[in-house]
Amino acid sequence: MAATVNIYELNGVPPGTPTGKTSGTVRFKNADDAAVDLGNPLVVPTSLTEFSYQKYLRLRIDGGGFTQISNLRAYSDGASGFGAGVKVWYWTTGGYAQPEEPPSSVDPPHYPATGSPQTAGGDLFTRTAGAPIDLDAINAGPFANGSPAEWIGDFLVLVMEIETTASQGILPAETLTFAYDEI
């Protein structure tokens, strides 16, 4: 029987409240919550930029039978469908901190996640299946078959940036893929 590994978004004060996002939607917004609704929307700014609150995502083993899991990674399809003026930044970190909104004067790759240590980040859409984000660089695997509900790997932190050149309206969906090796 294969492992059951799920994706969770964590919000609130540490240790964070997990919300299942496997095959679900992560909504970038001006609030620290996992609700997929139209509340607290990002708006096109008249100057500088607007950022969403950070989205902390992490994998958890929720059951199944396996020997070990390793090589955790995440990637996009390499092409943003969000249009001009909309970016998604990423970095990874070894620990969770309450999500916050980066200041409009700082690009998120240079804005640290509070949890330490962390890795340098960049534009999410430059990370593809051929060059994925390493999700076990800090909290290294392999992860052995243990008790269910075991958190594995690093936190993937995402932030959406809206620039003055963005168009008004609801953005289309984009896919973020998580992968791992299992034996």
Which pLDDT band holds residue 151 (cuts at 50, 70, 90)?
very high
Inter-residue contact 38 to 29 (CB < 8 Å): no
Separation between Cα atoms, residue 125 and residue 75, nearest integer Å: 8
* pLDDT exceeds cutoff 60 at 116: no
* pLDDT exceeds cutoff 90 at 141: no
Best-predicted range by mean pLDDT among 50-54, 60-64, 142-146, 147-151? 50-54
Separation between Cα atoms, residue 133 and residue 183, nearest integer Å: 21
Inter-residue contact 58 to 26 (CB < 8 Å): no
- CA angle in degrees (0–180, nearest 5) for 13-138-4: 75
* pLDDT exceeds cutoff 90 at 108: no
Which has the higher per-residue pLDDT, 11 or 117? 11
- Tens-digit pLDDT profile for residues 16-73: 999 999 999 999 999 999 999 999 999 999 988 899 999 999 999 998 888 899 999 9
* pLDDT exceeds cutoff 70 at 121: yes
Mean pLDDT, the chain, whole residue set: 90
* pLDDT exceeds cutoff 70 at 112: no
**pLDDT reported for residue 2:** 86
* pLDDT exceeds cutoff 70 at 175: yes
The position carrying tokens 């496997």 is 22
**pLDDT reported for residue 183:** 85
